[in-house]
Structure 1
């Protein structure tokens, strides 16, 4: 039977390295942040939430609005011609936390959905010069979650943490 001998110096040094690595986990949080940005971008590419459930399709009213503007919708919901929302996903890592998301004003509405008129109304003017009020949003918007930690993400984050801890205690 093989025998492994751990001297107190070896164990003490490994525990010291682990303690130092755990006192400021900013590098770990950065790794997790980078992973979650990629995972979120994968959600846009697949048109699904973090657990792989497809987003609600565009409504006919939305498709009609694209046609009226002579604009071509992107291949999936939340993917328009400019890819504005998907192009703004970023993260911020601290010593012991990480957050990621978008700074686009409409990101929360896309994530959680909204009912027509939920945010009030704005005044518009029609072609005849008559004023009218248009609800904000003008129609119901179903939730299309693009942010979150799915089952695959859970597994990947555990692997990232495991690698971080193993690297900290090893003598590399």
Structure 2
């Protein structure tokens, strides 16, 4: 196979910068993390999954539970009185990965859904001495995906990656 040696200082420097940028992509992962947190927050604002499909509405049982607690539900599903889930979206990065989501214990159930009793039950005696048995969750919860990469996100992420690579070679 023929071999060609390139002795261009400009090209060598650009390839060196590109190599360095691809060795540790932490800055790129940070940009992607920021983008995906904003995208996820936009999902909460619109009440839709990453592809723009509306989340399943709250059930009457859930609305009744809010009323019994004298809580006011938020304007959309997944936004409760405390807004805890929607306010805990964050990201972590490594050299070649980004993770984003929520640390709320119920986040996965909201993302993927769950059947009544899927996680067992609570049993005991209340303050009035009555025994109780409460399945966990107490009702069926439909999936309401708030995390994910939708079509618009794919376009945005490609733009972020392209800009990162252009900046790496431009120096």
The answer to whether TM tops 0.5 is yes
Q: 1:125, CA displacement in angstroms?
A: 3.4
Aligned to 1:123, what secondary structure does the other structure show? strand
* Separation (CA, whole Å) in 2 of partners of 1:69 and 1:90: 29
User: Partner of 1:146 in structure 2?
Assistant: 146
Tell me the CA shift for residue 137 of structure 1: 0.3
Q: Which residue in the other structure is 2:82 paired with?
A: 82
Per-residue deviation at 1:81?
1.6
TM-score in terms of structure 1 length = 0.93
Distance in 2 between residues matched to 1:74 and 1:129, nearest whole Å: 34
What are structure 2's unaligned runs of at least 5 residues?
Answer: 1-5
* Equivalent position of 1:113 in the other structure: 113
User: Within 1, Cα distance between the matches of 2:157 and 2:111?
Assistant: 22
Give the match for residue 70 of structure 1.
70
SS in 2 for 1:96: coil
1:50 aligns with 2:27: no
Deviates more, 1:115-124 or 1:54-63: 115-124
- CA distance in structure 2 between the aligned counterparts of 1:28 and 1:57, rounded to whole angstroms: 36
1:30-75 deviation per Cα after TM superposition (whole angstroms, max 9, x unaligned): 0000100000000000000000000000000000111111111110
Shift of 1:98: 0.4
Give the distance between the partners of 2:126 and 2:98, measured in 1 at CA.
46
Paired residues, number = 166
Distance 2:46 2:7 in 1: 51
Counterpart for residue 26 of structure 1: 26
1:129 matched residue in structure 2: 129
Does the Cα contact within 8 Å between 1:124 and 1:134 map onto a contact in 2?
no
Shift of 1:82: 1.2
Large movers: runs of 4+ above 3 Å: 124-128
How high is the TM-score relative to the length of structure 2? 0.93
